[in-house]
Structures are given as structure tokens and as C-alpha cells.
Amino acid sequence: MIPAKFDYVKPGSLDEAVRALADGGEDAKIIAGGQSLLPLLRLRLSYPDLLVDVGGIDELRGVIDHGDSLVIGARTTHYQVVHDPLIGEHCGLLAQAAGTVADPAVRHRGTLGGSLAHGDPAGDLPAVAVALGATLIARGPGGEREIAAGDFFVDYLTTALEPSEILTGVRVPKLGGDWGYRYEKFHRTAQAWAIVGVAALARRSNGHVAEARVGLTNMGSVPVRASAVEAAAAGAEATRDALNAAAASAADGTEPPADLHGAPDYRRHLARVLTGRALAAAAGV
Amino acid sequence: MTATAESPAAELGRARTRKEDARLVTGQTTWTDNLVLPGMLHMAFVRSPYAHARITGVDLSAAKQMPGVVAAFSADDFGEQGSLPCGWPVTPDIVIPHHPPMATGEVRYVGEAVAVVVARDRYTAADAVGSVDVSYEPLGPVLDMKTALDEGTPKVHETGNLSYDFVFPTSGDIDAAFSGADVVVEREYRQQRLIPCAMEPRAVVASWTGDDVTLWSATQIPHVLRFAIAAFFGIPEQSIRVIAPDVGGGFGSKLQVTAEEVLAVLVSRMVGKPVKWNESRSEGNMTVHHGRDQWQRIAIAADRDGRIRGLKVDLLADMGAYLMLVTPGVPILGAFMYNSIYKMDAYAFRCKGIFTTKMPTDAYRGAGRPEATFAIERIMDELAVELGMEPLELRERNWIKHEEFPYATISGLTYDSGNYEAATARAKELFGYDALRAEQAERNARNDTVRLGIGISTFTEMCGLAPSRVVGSLGYAVGGWEHASIRMLPTGKVEVVTGSSAHGQGHETAWSQIVADQLGVPFEDIKVLHGDTQVSPKGLDTYGSRSLVVGGMALVGACDKVIEKGKRVAAHMMEASENDVEFVAGRFQVRGDPEQGRSIQEVSLATFAAHNLPDGMEPSLDSEATYDPHNFSFPHGTHLCATEVDTETGMVTIRSYVAVDDIGKVVNPLIVEGQVHGGIAQGIGQALYEEAVYDEAGNLLTTTLADYLLPSAADLPSYVTDRTESPADNRLGVKGVGEAGTIASTPAVVNSIVDALRPLGIRDITMPCTPERVWRAIDTARASAASGNGGASSNGGAA
Ligand SMILES: Cc1cc2nc3c(=O)[nH]c(=O)nc-3n(C[C@H](O)[C@H](O)[C@H](O)COP(=O)(O)OP(=O)(O)OC[C@H]3O[C@@H](n4cnc5c(N)ncnc54)[C@H](O)[C@@H]3O)c2cc1C
């Protein structure tokens, strides 16, 4: 498992990195934790000429409190996401999901930005970003722009980022204390990818679910927002039966993949079962 | 049964931490891939992308022109290559196809080597692989054992797709047993194909000096490898040195003479430089020999009261494309084990070895015995259901009682000892068997969506391979003895040389403990040497749970001889009669006058000085011994597994696992626990996670560990382990433990899953019992229950 030849630079600032990436053109790629990119290089499924390592850029790390939202640096590792007190307090769903990613070694290297920029629908964090209504902040030669998570994921391993753009951070709206959440990941071994994952958020009020948001992992070529479920759950009684009923439409319109871990019909079935469970947990029932 | 009377068992049974671990776990040691020799070049293989094809051309010219590439070779460059050996022709008319290390003419599995490039660094070598242009004319793949013998199926070899048809000499009147029985249960089980995943991938370095070659290899079998290279590739044995430096696991996969090892030797000679090859995990998944892969048809006949009358076994075993070192023998080892711990009147066994266009299969932890144990333990549960009997009770009615040992089994072995009652009683107690059964009944009664199942495996196995005479009569090419020597150093320290080279088992620690007891020297003063045919010239290596029961006994034999010689020297030093000298805890002393004595260290120094030795005595205490066991070793045990099966998702969770093993005396409990834990994990791997999958074109789909799932610590329960002890028929009183956990655990887990789902009308799930398969089985059973076909059977979906 030996990658093809590539050049490597490790700029010390964001500006330098943007320049390096632009200079490298189509064949340059960012490397963050390397936990998705290196396997592709080693399997010789990807042949970049230049890797721009963003590991030396301090501005891309850490969490900043902006009042009603948090901005999490793209280079923040899964491990840091799991343990960050601000994230724990204001968007615990993200921390919970990041805690299910792979194993400790991968969580110490892999980054939030890398997970999202990679655009793998089997990754746990894209569906979470969609459910949380996060916004992705990108910097390119032309300056900075913000992209809603729902618009960011374009296709399998394809995002709205331009080749010359760097993802710098993720803006996540803070959740009020009346929101509950649950990331329900179904996988065969602790280290394995999700066969199906469900990111659910529920705001409870008077024994009912006032509002719900549901994102699905690995149910299509991009993370899926289960809007039919959200609509059915809104106003539903906070009971298992009611939420299971709402979850019945979880697989509607999805085109889940077929692979060694599950056929599409099995994934659709799982999506329904797990969505019911995730909603119930999020609603505290 | 116990250590020699005169040596107190100070070390035997002590949970010493392993002296080799610091260097192994930090990697600060000579793993083969850590070796760097002056001028060393790197090999990379061009491998077939086709399961079956004619090679119509290999163009190496572009690769050869790449900067940094030194040479490139295809089969033509090697001339007459010789054939990789198969050491176990199980029938007189077995078909053993020619198996050149580098494919000539045809490729017969994806991953077969068709060319090799040699470059100054491994990056260049890997790049150059892409520049080799091989043209193929595709031929039909053969992927299904069941249709491989049908007319019109493409032929893997000119002779067809049958390698052998082995019929075990039937014991008893099998027809009478079946026709006279009240109940006959027949099932078919699938042993899926497995990929051994040793932590250290294979690695090879070969280097010639003049006419002599040194081959470093991550192998389990340095001695057998040296012999094989000499015998089959025309290099004089005395010119070959094989070194297995520290080796990171094997599980049978490094019990092999591989194409890459042989090609390293040949290529190094051709380029006149040392060469190295280190496989990647994906390359390994394709080309490390695979394990299991059988269809098992098994029928059991019994009386209403549960007494077993007869057992019939009919196997199809996938050999893959070629026969490698012990490929054909693996299922045949199982022939002795289907009857397991049970008494019966008659037994019949037959196995057909089938060629397919897949990677050859060969020994994988347990080799033949896990398959047998699985089938018999699974069908015992089915028979219990048929008879309406408690499954443990059915087993107890049939097993050999502890007072009946030694016991000659229906398959022709003599079990030396065992106490199935004791192991089972202890396991039931630790498991809380009755309470779990009650909980299960209660949950079934309320149709719990998460079902509880209880799985039983009362197993035994044959290991400690093996009595040379016995394996010889089975057609096995070499014997089963083991060699050891003891070198007494002038300072009183001891070098122990063993032919049984460890690849992770902790021999250095265990062997030191044994020798410390035998010679009465401190554990720390002992150095164990192994794994280099120049340092340890004789041996038959490590596999088949043989190291302690065979190699350990060789150690004891060598220690005896040291003590005998030491007695002579000590008697001479003390001016006493040799007959009056006894050896107690490291001292030679005069019987009745223990004050008078010489320590073994003093005697060792005096022998080295040689100033004053008995007349005619050689100035050396060094001794060696070769031990050939007279029987196999028969560890046994009772494993109980409780699983929770989520009927909504198909997810299986192991709730508790109890393993009570009888492995005789324990040299080091920590090492034994390690073997038991790892063994159980590997068996659970087969039950729940692992499967090598080829697509319909014969491409291996499970080339990475993201697709070939292995359980890790995070997926496994905390095992409850304990031991019972019945005496073993050797001086240390020990039995093998390296494979027991793997053999026992697979049926325990699958039995528990089926037990959980039986109320839904399910009577089998094909391994690995993935959530999808379990869910499909439930779905199918529910559908057929709804349509009125109660008692549906299902094998789960073939995902
Ligand atoms: C064994 C294993 C198991 C895993 N299991 C899971 C799992 O269960 N769930 C899961 O979600 N993930 C899993 N992963 C992937 C892991 O989460 C990775 O951390 C993540 O997918 C990528 O993050 P990274 O920082 O390593 O990115 P890299 O691998 O460095 O990069 C990935 C891609 O993103 C691009 N990129 C990275 N950072 C930026 C940036 N700032 N701006 C623009 N582009 C960027 C790169 O160019 C590349 O295309 C697993 C990985 C491994 C090795």
C-alpha cells in the first residue's frame, strides 16, 4: 500500500495555504488528519501532485463562542470535539456523534473539517451537520463565503467547495436547553463505518415534540434530511408509538447503497427502526 | 504428571509477565521488515486481476526503463521453477497440480504472481508494477464447490476440479445404526472462507553470500521451510539458513512455503543483491492462504432416550486453486473429531477436495477441528430439540464419563484423560445457567423484541501435533517430534535452544519457567534461543498447539541429561559416589548429608575449567533431546455463551461468555489466559464477523479490514474463564491450549443465536451471523408463519 509520488508543503498561515493550494491548481489537495485521504492515496485511488498540510495553521483550531452560535475550527480533531465543553453544552449531538467515529487513534488524528470536506455519506458528521443546520465557512483566493450544510454536500465524495477553497470552520447554531438529541449509529464492529446512522434532534414541550430534525447517514450519495419524518414528528405525542409512527417514512425517497454490510432494503428497514429509536431518545422517552 | 520429583515446582503455575513483551510491543526488535542490509533492493509483485486466464504476454520493458528499477522478471526468466510443496497427500490418487511460484501459462486466482519488479526503494517498485503490461485471455472462473464437478464447468486444472475423494474407514455398522434409530437429524452447515489476519503481514529478506543463502521470513516454520527449499528448489540444504526473527502472529497462515519466499531466494541470486518484500494488508488478504471453506453435510441417528447410534459426515472442502503445504489434510484432521466427546456405535466420514479459482486454503487456527466441533455441537442442539431434551442433558447422556478414560473413540483415537462432568458443572455454575434459562423463558413468553439465547459447546480437540508414526500413517510428509538443547554457560547462566519458534506465544517466558524448575536456576538467568536454523538447527516448529506438549517435553529431556552429567561431576568434586548424589533445587547434594553439596553453577564452572573431571568425561554439561510424543493431546472444556438478539435489527450482542477449559497443568496462567481470550475472540470472529467474499468474476471483495471485519476488544464481552484439571499423559502434565478457544467458541455463539430465535421458527443462521442475515431469517420466518407455514426453517439471506 504505497501511494504514488506527491509533493508536500506545510504552510504556517491560512493565507499561505490558500496561495499554495491555488498555485497547485487542480492536482493540489488539502491534507488534514489524513484519515480518509491517506487510505485513498495508498489504495492508489487518488493521485494528487501536491498535498497542502493544514496542520500548522493555528487559526483553524479550537472553538469560538459567537453568542448564538459556535464556530468550530476545521482542524479541530474528533477527540477535541468530543471533549470540548462549549460543544458539549451547546451542540452535544456533534460531540456524541464524533465519539462514535472509528477508534481512538483515528479520533486523535481525524478532523471535523476533513470529515465534512471529504463528503462521504457514510461518515457520521455530515448528517449531523445537516440536522444541526450548520454553516460551513470556506476561504479561497476570492475571500470567504458561508455555505449551508444542506447545500454543501453535492454528491458522493463531492462538495460545494472549489478546488482552491479551504474549509476554515463550521458555524453551529446553539441548541436551547429544551432540545434533546441522539446519534443512533448502527455498525457491526466498534471501529466500523455506519451501515445506517440517524442524527435526531427534538424539542419537547408539554409532552409533545414541538419540533424535530433528522439527518440520515449512509442512506444515499449525500447525507439525507428526513423531512417527512420531521413533519410527522412535529406536534406528535412524545411516546414511542407516536415517534415510531413518525419514523415510518424515514426511508421514503432514499437511495441507499448496496455493499457487503447491507442491501438497500435492509438499510431502509434500519433507517425506520433507528429513526424511531433516535427520536424517542432525543425526546427523552 | 508433575515435574520431576526432585524439582520443586516454583515456577510452574506462576503468572509471570512475558520477558519478550517489551521489545515486541514497542517494535524495537528485528521484525523482518525492520531489517536493512547493504545494497538491499525491494521487490513488488505484479498480480493477476483475473480469477482464471491464459497469460498471453508479459511486457516488462517499460518497467525496466523506469529510473530506480534494477530488474523485472516473469516466469520465463526463471526457467524450470520447481513446485511449491504439498506435504500431505491424503489419498494415493490425489491430484497435486504443479504449482510454480510464478504463474506460468495460466493464472488460477486473483492475486497470483505473474511478474516481479526489483527496484532501489519500495516506492519505485510499487510504481513500476503499474508499468508492467500483462495480456490475458480470460477463462471461466470456478467459484462454487457444489457445481465444480458438474459437466461443463470450466476446469481449474487439466485433470478437472476434483483433487481427492477421501473415505474414512467406517467404524461400526453405519447402516444398522441409522436404520435402527428412532430419530435421524440431518443438516448442512457452511464453513465460510476466512482470511487469517496476523498483526504482522508477511515479510521476506533474502541474501546470498557466495553459494549460501540466508532467508529471513516472518514464518512459523523456519526448519520446515529450509527443508522444503532444499528438497523442492534444488539448493543444497547445508547452504540454506532460514531465520524467523521476531514474528508477529500467524494463526497457521505462516505455516506455509510461499511463492514470495521462494521467489525472494531466486531473485536475490539473479540480481546479486539482497532483496526484501513486505506485503500490504490488501495484498495479504488476497494471497495469504485462506482458512475453512467447507460445506458440511452431517446426519446423526439416535434413540428416543437420546443415545447416539451413528454419525455420518460428508464434506466438500474448497482447496482453492492449488494444494499448498497441508491444504488437503486440513479437513481430514477433522475426520477424527466429529465424534468429539461422544460415544456412538458407528461413524462414517467422507470428504471431497475441490479445486476452485480462489486463493488456496490451508491451516488456520484449529485446522479441521473447529469445523468438526461446529458441526457436531450444532447438530447436538438440533437433536435435543427433535427429542425434546435439554441440550446439556443430551450431551451428558452421550459423553465419555470421567471414569472411562483412557477411552478408544469411534474414530480411532485414544483419549488419555478428561472430565466433562467437572468442566460442565463449573461452567454452569459460573454462567448462572438455570437463572438464564428462566429469564429466557420469561422473555419468550412476553414476546420480547430482544431475545435471549444460550449456546453450549462441550468440546474436545486433538493437538500437540504429533506422534510421528501416526502422522506418517496419515500420509503426512514429516514427523512430529521436537528438539531442544541446553547450554550451560561457565557463569552458571543457561541458554535454551528450542526448535519450536514462537511467533507471539511467549515461549521465551514459558520455556524459562520450565527450565528454571528443572535445573533450579533463576528464571532471569535463562535465555531462550530460537528461530534461526544456524542457532537452533533442529526442529519442527510451531503449529497445532504443539509447542509445550512436544517442545516442552524435549526441554525436560535435555534438562534430565544435564542433571545426569552434573551428578557425575559433582560426585567427583565431593569425592562421593555418583549414586549417593541427588539433585535438589539446583544443588547436587549427598543423600543424607545435604550440607555437602555443590550448586549447579559451581558444577557448571568446574566443568568449564575441566581441571578435575571424572576420567573419560567430556568437559561439557550441554545436552540435547528430541521428543516424539506417543499420543496427541486432548484438551477439552465447556463454553457457554449468552447472546441478546435484537429482532428488529438483527443485531447480536454477546451478553456473557464462560469458558472452563481443561488443559492439564498450567505453566503460566497469564499466557494461558491470553491464548484462551484470543482464541475465543477468533472463534467469535468466525461466528459473527469474518468472511472472505469473492464476486461472481472471482474478485476478492474483502481486501481491506473495512470490508473484512475483525472484532476488536471493544466488540467483545469480558470473558469469565476458569479451569478444571485432569491429568495429561506426559511428565509436565500439560495439554495444548493454542487453538482450544477458537475451536470451542464458534458453535457456542451460533448455538446461542439459534437458541434465541428458535421460538420464531428459525433453526439455523449461516455464518457469519451478520445483522442482515439474522434480520432476513427473522423476516422470512415471520412471513411464513403469517402465511400459515409454521415451523419454517431458514438459513438467513445470502447477503
Ligand atoms: C479505520 C478508520 C475508520 C473510520 N471510521 C469512521 C467512522 O466510523 N465514521 C466517520 O465519520 N469517519 C470515519 N473515518 C474517517 C475519519 O472520520 C476521518 O477523520 C475523516 O473522514 C477525515 O478527516 P481528516 O482530517 O482525516 O481528513 P483528510 O483525510 O486529511 O482529508 C479528507 C478529505 O478532505 C479534504 N480536506 C481536509 N481538510 C480540509 C479543509 N480544511 N479544507 C478543504 N478540504 C479539506 C482533503 O483534501 C481530503 O479530500 C475512519 C477512518 C479510518 C482510518
Per-residue pLDDT of chain A (285 residues; tens, 9 = 90+): 789 999 999 999 999 999 999 999 889 999 999 999 999 999 999 999 999 999 999 999 999 999 999 999 999 999 999 999 999 999 999 999 999 999 999 999 999 999 999 999 999 999 999 999 999 999 999 999 999 999 999 999 999 999 999 999 999 999 999 999 999 999 999 999 999 999 999 999 999 999 999 999 999 999 999 999 999 999 999 999 999 999 999 999 999 999 999 999 999 999 999 999 999 999 999
**Grid coordinates standing for B790?**
409454521
- Ligand 1 pocket check: which of A50, A115, A139 to mutate, most ligand atoms within 8 Å of Cβ? A115
Residues B23 and B56 in one domain: no
Binary contact (B715, A189; C-beta < 8 A): yes
Single out the residue of A201, A1, A6, A3 nearest to residue A90, CA to CA. Answer: A201
Chain A CA closest to residue B689: A188
A106 Cα to the center of ligand 1, angstroms: 9
Tell whether B378 is covered by a domain.
no
In tens, the pLDDT along B163-180 reads: 999 999 989 999 999 999
Could you please report the per-residue DSSP string of chain A?
Answer: --PPP-EEE--SSHHHHHHHHHHHGGGEEEESS-TTHHHHHHTTS---SEEEEGGG-GGGSSEEE-SSEEEEETT-BHHHHHH-HHHHHH-HHHHHHHTTSS-HHHHHH-BHHHHHHHT-TTSHHHHHHHHHT-EEEEEETTEEEEEEHHHHEEETTEES--TT-EEEEEEEEPPPTTEEEEEEEE-SSTTSPPSEEEEEEEEEETTEEEEEEEEEESSSSS-EE-HHHHHHHTT-BSSHHHHHHHHTTTTTT-----BTTB-HHHHHHHHHHHHHHHHHHHTT-
Domain ranges of chain A: 7-52, 61-173, 180-282
Tell whether B659 is covered by a domain.
yes
Q: If you ran DSSP here, which 8-state letter would residue B236 be given?
A: -
Pocket lining: A54 vs ligand 1, CB cutoff 6 Å: yes
Q: How many helices (H) and strands (E) does chain B have?
A: 20, 28
Q: Does A1 touch chain B (CB under 8 A)?
A: yes
In tens, the pLDDT along A114-134 reads: 999 999 999 999 999 999 999
- Please give, one letter per residue, the 3-state secondary structure of B492-522: CCEEEEECCCCCCCCHHHHHHHHHHHHHCCC
Residues B11 and B96 in one domain: no
Q: Are A7-52 and A61-173 in the same CATH fold?
A: no
- Ligand 1 pocket check: which of A1, A13, A21, A35 to mutate, most ligand atoms within 8 Å of Cβ? A35
Tell whether B370 is covered by a domain.
no
**Grid coordinates standing for B385?**
430439540
Q: Does A263 touch chain B (CB under 8 A)?
A: yes
CATH number corresponding to A180-282? 3.30.390.50
**Domain encompassing residue B78:** 32-139+199-249+254-287
Taking contacts as CB-CB distances below 8 angstroms, the residues of chain A near B707 are 260
Q: Does B775 touch chain A (CB under 8 A)?
A: yes
State mean pLDDT over B145-162.
98
Residues B569 and B662 in one domain: no
Residues B22 and B36 in one domain: no
Sequence-distant (≥ 6) Cβ neighbours of residue B505 within 8 angstroms:
B542, B547, B671, B675, B738
B674 SS3 class: helix
In tens, the pLDDT along A5-49 reads: 999 999 999 999 999 999 998 899 999 999 999 999 999 999 999
Residues B618 and B705 in one domain: no
A241 Cα to the center of ligand 1, angstroms: 37
- Give the residues across from A136 on adjacent strands: A147, A170
Does residue B519 have a pLDDT over 80?
A: yes
Binary contact (A1, B707; C-beta < 8 A): no
CATH of the domain at B606: 3.30.365.10
Q: Which residues of A184-202 are buried (b: 16+ CB within 10 A; e: fewer)?
A: bbbbbbebbbbbbbbbbbb
| CATH 3.20.20.70 corresponds to the domain A7-52 | no
Tell whether B336 is covered by a domain.
no
Q: Does A178 touch chain B (CB under 8 A)?
A: no
Residues B722 and B614 in one domain: no
A123 Cα to the center of ligand 1, angstroms: 8
Mutate which: A191, A198, A267, vs B, most B CBs within 10 A: A191
Residue B444 and residue B758: Cα distance in Å, rounded? 10
Sign of the torsion formed by the C-alpha atoms of B16, B18, B19 and B21? negative
Residues B443 and B497 in one domain: no
What part of B 153-192 touches A (C-beta under 8 Å)?
A: none
Pocket lining: A30 vs ligand 1, CB cutoff 6 Å: yes
Strands ordered across the beta sheet of B581-584: B581-584, B587-590, B593-599
Q: Is this prediction's ipTM beyond 0.90?
A: yes
Binary contact (B709, A188; C-beta < 8 A): yes
The domain boundary, picked from B578, B598, B627, lies at B627
Pocket lining: A118 vs ligand 1, CB cutoff 6 Å: yes
Residue A282 and residue A182: Cα distance in Å, rounded? 5
Cα→Cα distances B303→B177, B307, B346, Å? 10, 5, 13
Residues B236 and B283 in one domain: yes
The domain boundary, picked from B627, B645, B660, lies at B627
Query: How many A×B Cβ pairs under 8 Å?
Result: 62
What is the DSSP pairing of strand B53-59 with strand B133-138?
antiparallel
Q: Whose CA is nearest to atom 38 of ligand 1?
A: A114
B228 Cα to the center of ligand 1, angstroms: 46
B391 SS3 class: helix
Residue B732 and residue B1: Cα distance in Å, rounded? 6
Residues B658 and B719 in one domain: yes
Chain A CA closest to residue B693: A260
Of A190, A263, A274, the CB nearest to B772: A263
Q: How many domains does chain B have?
A: 3
CATH fold of the domain at A61-173: 3.30.465
Residue A159 and residue A134: Cα distance in Å, rounded? 15
The domain boundary, picked from B611, B627, B643, lies at B627
In tens, the pLDDT along B326-362 reads: 999 999 999 999 999 999 999 999 999 999 999 999 9
Pocket lining: A125 vs ligand 1, CB cutoff 6 Å: yes
A251 Cα to the center of ligand 1, angstroms: 26
A201 Cα to the center of ligand 1, angstroms: 24
CATH of the domain at B101: 3.90.1170.50
Residues B605 and B640 in one domain: no
Residues B535 and B507 in one domain: yes
The owner of cell 527496484 is B119
Binary contact (B712, A263; C-beta < 8 A): no
- Ligand 1 pocket check: which of A8, A30, A72 to mutate, most ligand atoms within 8 Å of Cβ? A30
